[in-house]
Structure 1
Amino acid sequence: MTILDKIIERKKEEIAISKAKTSIDHLKNSVFFGRQNFSLKESVKNKSGIIAEFKRKSPSKGIINDQVQPLEVATAYEHFGASGISILTDHDFFGGSFDDVLKVRNHINIPILRKDFMVDEYQFYEAKSIGADAVLLIAACLSPNQVLEFTALAHELGLEVLLEIHTEEELEHYNSEIDLVGINNRNLKDFKVDLQHSVLLKDQLPKGVLSVAESGIYAIEDFKYLKEKGFDGFLMGEYFMKNEDPANKFGEFISNIAIQ
């Protein structure tokens, strides 16, 4: 069983517990459910293109940074020009929670991506109820038909969709309703990073599709290489979060790419 298999198995258990505790009707009564969402797609187009991530830990790296607070980091990300904020809401494997989104939502005016393992319709109502603007759909744990159905539901709720792929076979998960396509430089099964592989996949997407490079961007040179190859957006977390002061690290990064 891969790490991804273990995560999905645990996720389904969590969803069953959540459904028993909180109904969809209750989620619809949340203060954020009726808000007008920000567009991640438009923000990626018109700002730095960087979706900066708040992430405490991961299965492959262990603890990355559990000493900083989401509000402090997210407000700095916005201040320095992030197109959006990605916030992990998975607890067991990534140390995240809904509270991390709730603490930030009223204090920033850029999109929030709920980054989690979306395998059930219920989770989309959760995302809307906590103030997320977009959700991540991971092709590796969904069928093409599920991606189509989940995308329709997301749009019905006013949420945008970032579809994450890693293999050529997963290109089949793409449909024209998808808002952004993320190409994960890191293989979710063995966690190896291959930037060139991602470029080859991007070149097989239909023209005009907004592409986002995800994971494995460890240096300004990586960022520049991927930008030169035509990526529109960049989902970056570990590069900033592994620093004692992620906010300052992000500010330095933005300054460096601006003068090069």
Structure 2
Amino acid sequence: MDILEEIVANKRVEVEAAKLAVAPAVLHKQVEAILDFSVASMKNALTASDSGIIAEFKRKSPSKGWIKEEGQPDIIPLSYQKNGAAALSILTDQKYFGGCDDFIRTARHSGVNIPILYKNFVIDEYQLFQARLCGASAVLLIAADLSIAECKSLLNTAHQLGLEVLLEMHSNKELEYAGLEPDMYGINNRNLGSFVTDVENSFRLAELLPKDAVKVSESGISNPDTVKALREVGFRGFLIGENFMKTADPGSALRELIEKL
């Protein structure tokens, strides 16, 4: 079993446990009560931004272990916003990434009002309701752990809840998912099975995506020259987490990168 298969197997167990704790009907009513309140568009934010940086709050990873165990969701996300992030990504998987839904709530309560991506392994529509309830603007759907039919169904439900979708692909084979026309098209430079990272993946697949798509390059981005080169081949968003989180002050690290751009 590769890492992705292990994570997804665990996620199925987690989701079933969550449904026992809060029944789907109860969760649906809670979300229904807030649907009048719209959330900021991540797609629009990336399109309008000069930098396109999606700064990620990521305390842990399966391959690296703890990156910043002491990282606080009421401090770092707000610092990202103050230092010029176009949008945020917040990991909400607990076991493998040290996150939780409350991190998004806490970030919102601290004053974050820019778009937030709910970064998790979404395999069930129940998680979309969880994402909407905690204050996310968009959700990540990963082609590698969903069939096209499953992905289409989740995308439709997300839109019904007022959430945008960043659809993540990694290989030529997964590009067939692009036909689902998500709000944003992500290319992950990290193989989720082996966790090997290669930014060339974004350059290789960029020209195969629709020309007018809002493209996001994810993982392995650490210097401004890479961002500039990716922008030249059509990318509008650049998801960066570990490069910021491993520093003493992630917000300052973000500002330094933007200044170099």
Q: TM-score, normalised by structure 1?
A: 0.95
Instruction: Give matches, 1:235-246, under 5 Å.
Output: 235-246=239-250
Deviations 1:186-226 (A, max 9, x none): 11112222222221211101120110000011222322222
Unmatched runs of 5 consecutive residues or more in structure 2: none
- Identify which of 164, 188, 195 aligns with 2:192: 188
Unmatched runs of 5 consecutive residues or more in structure 1: none
Output the aligned Cα RMSD. Answer: 1.4
Instruction: Give matches, 1:107-118, under 5 Å.
Output: 107-118=111-122
Whether the 8 Å contact between 1:165 and 1:184 is mirrored in structure 2 is yes
Instruction: Give matches, 1:56-75, under 5 Å.
Output: 56-75=59-78
In the other structure, the counterpart of 1:131 is 135
In the other structure, the counterpart of 2:103 is 100
1:214 maps to a residue whose letter is E
CA–CA distance in 2 between the matches of 1:91 and 1:34?
Answer: 29
Deviations 1:141-169 (A, max 9, x none): 00111111111100000000000000000
1:80 maps to a residue whose letter is N
1:5 maps to a residue whose letter is E
1:16 maps to a residue whose letter is E
2:23 maps to a residue whose letter is S
CA–CA distance in 2 between the matches of 1:100 and 1:245?
Answer: 18
Whether the 8 Å contact between 1:166 and 1:185 is mirrored in structure 2 is yes
In the other structure, the counterpart of 1:29 is 30
CA–CA distance in 2 between the matches of 1:163 and 1:2?
Answer: 21
In the other structure, the counterpart of 1:233 is 237
In the other structure, the counterpart of 2:53 is 50
Tell me the CA shift for residue 81 of structure 1: 1.7
Q: TM-score, normalised by structure 2?
A: 0.94
2:243 maps to a residue whose letter is Y
Q: Say whether 1:167 aligns with 2:168.
A: no
CA–CA distance in 2 between the matches of 1:195 and 1:111?
Answer: 25
Tell me the CA shift for residue 134 of structure 1: 0.4
CA–CA distance in 1 between the matches of 2:64 and 2:36?
Answer: 37
- Identify which of 210, 222, 228 aligns with 2:214: 210
Corresponding residue SS for 1:135: strand
Whether the 8 Å contact between 2:83 and 2:252 is mirrored in structure 1 is no
Whether the 8 Å contact between 1:148 and 1:175 is mirrored in structure 2 is no
Whether the 8 Å contact between 1:80 and 1:250 is mirrored in structure 2 is yes
CA–CA distance in 2 between the matches of 1:159 and 1:151?
Answer: 9
Corresponding residue SS for 2:238: strand
Equivalent residues, number: 257
1:142 maps to a residue whose letter is L
Aligned-residue sequence identity (percent) comes to 46
